[in-house]
Amino acid sequence: MALASSRSPRSVTILGSTGSVGTSTIDLIRRNPGAYVVEALTANSDWQQLARQAIELDARTVAIGDPAAYAPLKEALAGRNIGVAAGPEALVEAAAAKSDWVMAAIVGAAGLAPTLAAIRRGAIVALANKEVLVCAGDLVMQEVARSGATLLPVDSEHNAIFQVFDFERTEAIEKIILTASGGPFRTLDRAEMAKKTPAQAVAHPNWKMGAKISVDSATMMNKGLELIEAKHLFRMPQEKIEIVVHPQSVIHSLVAYIDGSVLAQLGSPDMRTPIAYTLAWPDRMASPSPRLDLAQIATLTFEAPDPERFPALRLVREALEAGGSAPTVLNAANEVAVHAFLNEEVGFLDIAEIVERTMAAIPVGPIDTLDDVHNFDKQARDTAAKLAASYARSAV
């Protein structure tokens, strides 16, 4: 079902258009000619792909985060009526410019300021950046309430919950259940995990994702961050959010009701399904995602996560218990530790250890403003970087 004939074109902005979620979003837009008008595209440093996307989609403006990429991007778009800007402020300005719908897909804490800019102008925001809620969940949700913005979760798990969550009768909800694939190291013991390389960690068995989120999946930190995200999106206390390992990644998450009913959303592991749900919302659109053949799948299995082999889950619950800046510190330390692992500077098991030691080193404080977020984020990054360097020296 194409959308071109069913309504006026929806104007869209894609923050992080050259990443995995961004390119999948563009794939769906490409399949629905006339249904969408692209206002702005942004990228971090891949100016070549950004230029190709802007020309193909006839974008009004583009913004590149890396100022060094401004000149070649400007030259690539010379003679075309496409505005070009660069730098972190340009990303925020692109998000703040008028459009109906915004895909917030900038990876990591760098996506916080642009996403907030879109929320503050009351846009429909498809949220693919979980760190925004992990770092500043209370602050972001306050801005959503104040501006009247609409948050649509893109993560497959939260999108699944969103599709079966009765927002009008939340008192009837007993708990929500996040499913986890368990990642590529689901069956390994810690001694085996300790030997794993970045290439092995990013080889997810079900999902094609970026390197950072793939490593987070391997440590199960990704599921922990999703727990924090779910707490804010659905206003649920952490004790009512359960995690269950489901290796087939067919059931994307569930909602359990007080009468014993458990509602689930199923689909193939293809991000174009949840992206399509948010892009067309409140309608639905056709997606090229592979269709489920339940008879062929035959068996769906479930198991409890092991907090001993995957300590990231314990760290996340401790951060939620501590509140305030603790989730911000956890997230920043994790980003630094994962970066160090991908650069082969620390081992796989060192990631969670660096996060835990960083959390222990920084006293918890309040998060009332964006500056508070930035201050704790910087403290955590500095501390985690020093720890990572010490691990690297000990490994030599």
What is the rounded CA–CA span in Å between residue 274 and residue 183? 20
Q: Which residues contribute to the annotated binding site for NADPH?
A: 18-21, 129, 131, 210
* Range list of β-strands (E), 105-190: 124-127, 150-153, 173-180
Which residues define the annotated binding site for 1-deoxy-D-xylulose 5-phosphate?
Answer: 130, 156-157, 181, 204, 217, 222-223, 226
Binding residues: 18-21, 129-131, 155-157, 181, 204, 210, 217, 222-223, 226
Phi/psi of residue 247, nearest 5 degrees:
-60, -25
Report the C-alpha gap between 290 and 30 in whole angstroms. Answer: 18
Q: In what order do the strands lie in the sheet with 83-86?
A: 83-86, 61-64, 36-43, 10-15, 101-104, 124-127, 150-153
Show the DSSP H helices in 152-253 as ranges.
Answer: 156-164, 190-193, 198-201, 211-219, 221-234
- Contact of 134 with 107, CB cutoff 8 Å: no
Residue reference for tokens 């530790």: 337
Annotated binding site for Mn(2+): 155, 157, 226
- Least Cα distance to 219 among 182, 167, 176, 177 occurs for 182
